[in-house]
Amino acid sequence: MKNRRVLTLVAFAAVIISLGLSGCSQSSKPPTDSTPTPSASSTVSTKAMAQYWVADTSRGFRLYREFVQVNPAPDAITAALRRLVSQKPIDSDYVSLWPLGTTINSVIVTGDSAIVDLTFPKLNLGSEAESLAIAQLVWTATAADTTVKKILLTVDGKKIESLAGHMDATKAFTRGLTYEVLSPIWITSPSENQVVDAKGFTLSGMASTFEANVVWKVMKDGVLIQEGSTTAQEAAPAWKPWSVVIENLKPGTYEFFAMEYSAEDGSLVAQDTKNVVLK
């Protein structure tokens, strides 16, 4: 599988660093959640919706995003959240912190706020994991309906003090600062297992890295095929696009890496990887 270590709830429970879920204004612009070009498999009854998942970086656990086709009924937020808590991510490097059996009962939108009522089994999570579990809901919900900025969580129709005993759930949650919540580097295209033209295509993503540096490489069957570096449009704390044209590869299945390395000691800070089929 890929190099990122496997994420478990046991590992989460041992971590005590709290990630941002706040009412503070963004110091850097978050990534747009506008939908990509519809795939050939999409239908008029579905639309591409953003889903936020969790994976590991050297700075702690962070959010990654995928787009999936979802029937937006009965409303966009309800549909997106129900899919999030009931399905697995496409990329097996990512996980959800919401256990099987979690149910989104209802979503009530008033102005720029939404009350999300849910039912879930007991959450045995540490403070960071609880923060990220909430962030999954907040970022997915506010992506589904961009007019909504605040999410209040209730359980079985009642306000609660906390979901897992660490985060104050009596107040509404908003998206936290991008550099505290999101992985500093994503691959946004191609998506996991996507088929692309072997003659050439653009590998692209988002980054918030030191001096905007993005290192990339191409592997096939564990063998390094190509590697190089590029830069995002702006350095951290800004969150900006990056891209590189990939050419001269033979048809087959490849693994593409985008990485940030520490300027201090050269260690791997974060990475995103995608398996892609070239034809």
Q: What is the 3-state secondary structure (H, E, C) of 157-224?
A: CEECCCCCCCCCCCCCECCCCHHHHECCEEEEECCCCCEECCCEEEEEEEECCHHHEEEEEEEECCEE
Q: Which two tokens stand for residue 135?
A: 């962030």
Q: Which residues pair with 95 in a beta bridge?
A: 54
Domain tally for the chain?
2
If asked whether residues 57 and 115 sit together in one domain, one would say: yes
DSSP-derived pairing of the beta strands 213-220 and 252-261: antiparallel
- Residue 30: inside a domain, yes or no? no
pLDDT for 34 equals 62
pLDDT for 73 equals 92
- Residue 150: inside a domain, yes or no? yes
If asked whether residues 129 and 143 sit together in one domain, one would say: yes
Q: Under DSSP, is residue 40 helix (H, G, I), strand (E, B) or coil? A: coil
If asked whether residues 119 and 203 sit together in one domain, one would say: no
pLDDT for 29 equals 54
If asked whether residues 45 and 160 sit together in one domain, one would say: yes
Domain boundary among 165, 181, 197: 181
Domain boundary among 162, 181, 200: 181
Q: Which residues pair with 213 in a beta bridge?
A: 231
If asked whether residues 164 and 238 sit together in one domain, one would say: no
Range of the domain at 265: 185-278
If asked whether residues 99 and 214 sit together in one domain, one would say: no
- Residue 66: inside a domain, yes or no? yes
Domain boundary among 133, 155, 181: 181
Peptide linkage before 36 cis (omega within 30 of 0): no
If asked whether residues 49 and 137 sit together in one domain, one would say: yes
CATH number at residue 267: 2.60.40.650
Over the chain (279 residues), the average pLDDT of each successive run of 10 is 39 36 43 57 77 93 96 96 97 95 97 97 90 96 97 96 93 94 97 96 97 98 97 96 96 98 95 97
If asked whether residues 152 and 53 sit together in one domain, one would say: yes
Dist. CA 20–CA 37, nearest whole Å = 31
